[in-house]
Amino acid sequence: MTTACRQTVSVIVPTYNRRAFVKEAVASVLAQEGVFPEIIVVDDGSSDGTDRALEVFGERIRRLRRAHGGASAARNTGIRIAAGEWLAFLDSDDLWLPSKLRRQLDFLTAHPEFLVCQTEEIWLRNGVRINPRKYHRKPRGHCFERLLDRCLVSPSAVMIHRDVFDSVGLFDENLPACEDYDLWLRIGCTYALGLVEEQLVVKRGGHPDQLSATVPALDRYRIRALANLLRSGRLDDSQADAAFRALKVKSRIFGEGCARRGKAEEAEKMLGLPDAIAGELGLPISPETGELPG
């Protein structure tokens, strides 16, 4: 066993009404080669018999059941009780290949400058393999600006040192969606991201209970995350400029969409949000360009 594999890892599996998937997800964690993680399954108030389905694993996993509060609350519950130095997450509809944790720990041992790393993924939609687009290419290093456009870090692929959460905080439980986008921005403005260039996660999409299918207008929450980040004081001048530009673009697109759908009040709020944020924070917006100088 390598030195890397003696490091402690806690794996947090949040689940909600996914009895058909979660047993396979947990089994893929138990099948990890050369790594014996603490496994915490947080049942977020399931009503489909998930708790009974998980009994088959006995004491090999730690099971917690809580009132339904969403993915962020479930993950945070696991983070707070986890004993590991490193934390990994597995969405209950995804799977890990057997070498996933070992390869990440080996990478982190070889590159101690990283406190966060992820792996490449295999994408399935309704059981059919699909190829990600070029703009989905996973980032590495200091890549804050790339993270602004879209979510490029997958919860099921990432491993994070617990010190990172002490620094940036946990998942935002006030966001019903895009909570991962929000966290990656808070991490990415400070920490470099490592990347294991192997497809070690199977992401299974296309089922009807995914957030992208059940929560309308996801960009509303990305915009909220950007506004929160600008207000946080975490960003340097260059990062604030990039975040403000992203906020302007997303607010304009979303606001114009609201206007077309006859949602005049929300359209006005979204279209005016960048100016409101600039005024609130005293940002020196150029009257000619509407941008931050520099």
Pairing of strands 62-65, 38-43: parallel
- As a whole number of angstroms, the distance between CA 193 and CA 173 comes to 24
Residue 236 makes CB contacts below 8 A (sequence gap 6+) with: none
Cβ neighbours of 149 (radius 10 Å)? 12
Exposure string over 166-182, b if 16+ CB within 10 A, otherwise e: eebebbbeebbbbbbbb
For residue 287, give the DSSP letter.
T
Domain ranges within the chain, ordered by starting residue = 4-208, 219-281
> What are the backbone angles phi and psi of residue 159, rounded to the nearest 5°?
-130, 135
What pLDDT is recorded for position 212?
53
**Helix 237-260 / helix 264-281 crossing angle, nearest 10 deg:** 160
pLDDT given at position 294: 47
pLDDT attached to residue 283: 79
Along the 294 residues of the chain, how does pLDDT read in single tens digits? 333 444 699 999 999 999 989 999 999 999 999 999 999 999 999 999 999 999 999 999 999 999 999 999 999 999 999 999 999 999 999 999 999 999 999 999 999 999 999 999 999 988 888 888 888 889 999 999 999 999 999 999 999 999 999 999 999 999 999 999 999 999 999 999 999 999 999 998 866 665 554 455 899 999 999 999 999 999 999 999 999 999 999 999 999 999 999 999 999 999 999 999 999 988 776 555 556 554
What Rg, from alpha-carbon coordinates, does the chain have? 20
Residue 214 is predicted with a pLDDT of 47
* CATH code matching the domain that covers 4-208, chosen among 1.10.1760.20, 3.40.50.880, 3.90.550.10, 3.40.50.720: 3.90.550.10
Contact 108, 86 (CB under 8 A): yes
Phi-psi region of 204 (alpha: psi -120 to 50; beta: other; left: phi over 0): beta
For 195, the token pair is 């990347």
- Is residue 247 helix, strand or coil? helix
The b-or-e profile of 266-280 (16+ CB within 10 A means b, else e) is bbeebbebbeebbee
The pLDDT value recorded for residue 207 is: 63
